[in-house]
């Protein structure tokens, strides 16, 4: 069975600074997707970034980027130039390809952004 | 607008009183799932459906039922709720192609007293 672990229950960062959230996963599969979701106080689940395991290049979306280390089964999220609106719970998630349904989530990291 | 709609958003009920949380999507997605979110545990899958009349258990199915009679709807049924089912529930849908993202509903905060 696949598992996803986020070892940092809480993180904080100063506005405009950079923060990295950690995620490790365990799988015996080679073809899968990894995601970071953001959950603000509104509870809405918002996709931040997606990484296909077969791609060596790390995904980037504006101020958000990942460090994907397939051999180490590590998938960290870097947020640059942090903004107050980045404050949220962040979840790392795994999905096997081609199965389109099942997402396995980590425990979550609560990010606080200090002005 | 593409969306997944859950109702109700908040619900307080008593132990043993049957309840249904509805979920509807307007994107013609094949896959639909239910998750529960608990502090320190992240989101865990309860049940999922790959298409009409096709459902299967997720990681934590005990105490829950689902049905998929129409492609757009995937209700979650608690026939005899217990306090340990107090949680935040999410419905999600995604298309059959594996590279598509999952779309989540707004969440249902359920309290069983």
Which phi and psi (to 5°) does residue A84 adopt? -60, -35
Contact state of A102 with B104 under an 8 Å Cβ cutoff: no
Percent above pLDDT 70 for chain B: 98
B34 touches chain A (CB under 8 A): no
A20 touches A76 (CB < 8 A) = yes
pLDDT tens, residue by residue, A59-75: 999 999 999 999 999 99
H, E, C per residue of A64-106: EEEEEECCCCEEEEEECCCCHHHCEEEEEEEEECCCCCCCEEC
CA distance A94 to A88: 20
Give A24's contacts in chain B (Cβ within 8 Å): none
Residue A95: alpha-carbon gap to chain centroid: 13
Q: Which residues of chain B have pLDDT under 50?
A: none
Q: What is the pLDDT of residue A99?
A: 60
List all residues 6 or more positions away from B24 whose beta carbon is below 8 Å from its beta carbon. Answer: B4, B5, B72, B73, B74
Q: What is the CA radius of gyration of chain B?
A: 13
Contact state of B43 with A105 under an 8 Å Cβ cutoff: yes
Q: What is the pLDDT of residue B27?
A: 93
A49 touches A36 (CB < 8 A) = yes
Q: Specify burial of residue A3 (Cβ count, 10 A radius: 0-12, 13-18, 19+).
A: exposed
Which phi and psi (to 5°) does residue A88 adopt? 180, 175
> DSSP class of residue B26?
S
A21 touches A71 (CB < 8 A) = no
Q: How does residue A98 score in pLDDT terms, banded at 50, 70 and 90?
A: low
CB burial readout B15-31, b (16+ within 10 A) else e = eeeebebebbbeeebbb
pLDDT tens, residue by residue, A4-47: 999 999 999 999 999 999 999 999 988 899 999 999 999 999 99
Q: Which residue of A has its CA nearest to B43?
A: A105
Q: What is the pLDDT of residue A87?
A: 98
Contact state of B96 with A100 under an 8 Å Cβ cutoff: yes
Structure tokens at B6: 């859950």
B95 touches chain A (CB under 8 A): yes
Distance from CA of A13 to the nearest CA of B (A): 21
Residue A101 has pLDDT above 70, yes or no: no
List all residues 6 or more positions away from B35 whose beta carbon is below 8 Å from its beta carbon. Answer: A103, A105, B43, B44, B45, B46, B58, B89, B90, B91, B92
Q: What is the pLDDT of residue B113?
A: 97
């Amino acid at each position: 069975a696949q598992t996803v672990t986020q070892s940092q229950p809480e993180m904080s960062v100063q506005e405009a600074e950079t923060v990295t959230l950690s995620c490790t996963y365990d799988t015996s599969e080679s073809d899968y997707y990894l995601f970071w979701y953001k959950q603000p106080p509104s509870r809405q689940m918002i996709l931040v970034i997606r990484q296909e395991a077969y791609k060596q290049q790390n995904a980037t979306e504006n101020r958000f980027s990942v460090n994907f280390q397939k051999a180490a089964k590590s998938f960290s999220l870097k947020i640059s130039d942090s903004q107050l609106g980045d404050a949220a719970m962040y979840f790392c998630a795994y999905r096997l390809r081609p199965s389109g349904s099942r997402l396995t989530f980590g425990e979550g990291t609560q990010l606080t952004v200090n002005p | 607008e593409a969306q997944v709609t859950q109702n109700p958003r908040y619900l307080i009920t008593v132990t043993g009183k049957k309840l249904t949380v509805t979920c509807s999507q307007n994107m013609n997605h094949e896959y639909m799932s239910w998750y529960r979110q608990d502090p320190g545990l992240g989101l865990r899958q309860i049940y999922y459906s790959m298409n009409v009349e096709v459902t299967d258990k997720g990681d934590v199915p005990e105490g829950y039922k689902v049905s998929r009679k129409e492609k757009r709807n995937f209700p979650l049924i608690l026939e005899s709720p217990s306090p340990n089912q107090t949680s935040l529930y999410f419905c999600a849908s995604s298309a059959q192609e594996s590279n598509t993202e999952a779309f989540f509903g707004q969440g249902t905060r359920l309290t069983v007293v």
